[in-house]
Amino acid sequence: MHLKSLVLKGFKSFADRSALTLEPGITAVVGPNGSGKSNISDAVLWVLGERNAKHLRGQAMEDVIFAGSSARRAAGLAEVDLVLDNSDGTLPVDYDEVAITRRMYRSGESEYLINGTVARRMDVLDILHDSGLGTGTHSIISQGSLDSILQSKPEDRRALIEEAAGTLKHKQRKAKSERKLAQMDQHLARVRDVTAEVERQLKPLERKAKRARTYIGLSAELSDLKLKLAVDDLRQLQEKHAAATAREEAVAAELEAKRAEISAAEAAVETLQEKIRQEGASAGELTRQHRQASGAVERIESAELVMRERKRAATSRAGELSVSLEANAARTKTAQADLDAANAQLASVQAERAQAEEKVSRLAADHADVTSRRAETEKRATELGRASRDLESRINSARA
């Protein structure tokens, strides 16, 4: 495995995109002081997951982003691509080339990519752990670090030897495992606490669960009873609706019959009223004839009185004439003739009076009969009106 290429963009002094192609063997970077030679090793260290800004010769991690110059603006992000040749399968991935990319924005956000796929820093460290390129190793020795290594304490030198021997990664894994075990112990203690608390609450919860099951059973039974009651209520309502419909139809039929009876009664009332009007007209005619007959009787009686007075006068005159019969025979004959004429006229008037009285009696009987029939008709009309009002009241009650 060897480093194939390194691409820098916006990292420290590399404002433009700069690509370095490397071959197997030793590669030397030569340049004057301040040309940015150390920035290349810093870029390799940074892309491999370094988080300490002092190891990158800066005060803050944002110092790795190109800060700009008098001729150029500051960059918005720093990006480094590191391509490793993995044809020998050193790295635990199924690729012949592994491209590790790290980006950092001025907002402080950072992201890692492995072969273009977003990944975590832990994923990058896991890939590089067995290759000796992980953080905390001395595969990359920065400027000024060699002297500190040579003058280090025996413990530090031991760490360097362990790293070179490949045991450091196992120590790191052991430490990581111990941390995980400590965390697991804490989780187990927490689980034991939770288990004890749950066991303490188990009996009350069991009682509550029993009550809940009882409640669910009773609720189901109650729902079933409510459903049965609803079905029974529905059946009763349907029966009541059918009965009400039948009653309504019967009342409608009775209403139609009563309307027919009312129409017949109204027709009968109109007929009786017409008959009453006709009989009233007949009674008026009879009354008029009665008044005429009464007038005729009065006239006849007046004529009779006149005739009687004339007869009396004639009789008186006849007496006077009898006294003076001898003196005036001619006048006697004349008076006798007048008397005979008066008697004949009186007999005629008496006959006419008898006829008039008979006609008056007949008219009076007819008038009494008409009056009786009119009273009976008015009584029947009153009864029909009462029956009509009774039918209307029953119809209104049936409608209500």
Quick one: average pLDDT of 164-178?
75
Q: Report whether 124 contacts 51 (CB < 8 A).
A: no
DSSP 221: H
pLDDT for position 133: 67
Mean pLDDT of the residues in the chain: 79
Q: Report whether 339 contacts 318 (CB < 8 A).
A: yes
- Please give the order of strands across the beta sheet that includes 110-114: 18-21, 2-9, 77-85, 97-105, 110-114, 117-119
- Letter string b/e over residues 277-289, b meaning 16 or more CB atoms within 10 A of that residue's CB: eebeebbeebeeb
Select the more confidently predicted residue: 6 or 343. Answer: 6
pLDDT for position 154: 78
pLDDT for position 382: 78
3-state secondary structure of 102: strand
6 to 11, 41, 99: CA distances (angstroms)? 12, 10, 10
Quick one: average pLDDT of 227-251?
87
pLDDT exceeds 80 at position 211:
yes
* Dihedral of alpha carbons 321, 327, 332, 334, sign: negative
pLDDT for position 250: 85
The pTM of this model reads: 0.43
Give me the residues paired with residue 100 across strands.
Answer: 82, 114
pLDDT for position 155: 73
pLDDT for position 320: 66
pLDDT for position 137: 54
At residue 103 the predicted structure's pLDDT band, cuts being 50, 70 and 90, is very high
Residue ranges per domain, the chain?
2-135, 248-399
pLDDT for position 178: 92
Give me the residues paired with residue 2 across strands.
Answer: 85
The CA-CA-CA angle for residues 375, 380, 385, to 5°, reads 125
At residue 189 the predicted structure's pLDDT band, cuts being 50, 70 and 90, is very high
pLDDT exceeds 70 at position 149:
no
pLDDT exceeds 60 at position 321:
no
Within this chain, domains 2-135 and 248-399 share the same CATH topology: no
Torsion of CA 136, 140, 145, 149, to 10 degrees: 70
At residue 166 the predicted structure's pLDDT band, cuts being 50, 70 and 90, is low
pLDDT for position 180: 92
SS3 helix, strand, coil % of the chain, rounded to 5?
Answer: 70, 10, 20
At residue 181 the predicted structure's pLDDT band, cuts being 50, 70 and 90, is very high
Q: Report whether 81 contacts 101 (CB < 8 A).
A: yes
| Of the options 3.40.50.1260, 3.30.43.10, 1.20.810.10, 3.40.50.300, the CATH number for the domain spanning 2-135 | 3.40.50.300
pLDDT exceeds 80 at position 20:
yes
Torsion of CA 50, 5, 19, 100, to 10 degrees: -40
At residue 10 the predicted structure's pLDDT band, cuts being 50, 70 and 90, is very high
What is the CATH number that goes with domain 248-399?
A: 1.10.287.1490
pLDDT 10s digits, 49-98: 888 888 788 888 888 999 888 888 999 899 999 999 888 888 888 888 99
Cα gap 342→381, rounded to integer Å: 56
pLDDT for position 258: 75
pLDDT for position 112: 94
68, burial (CB in 10 Å: exposed 0-12, middle 13-18, buried 19+):
exposed
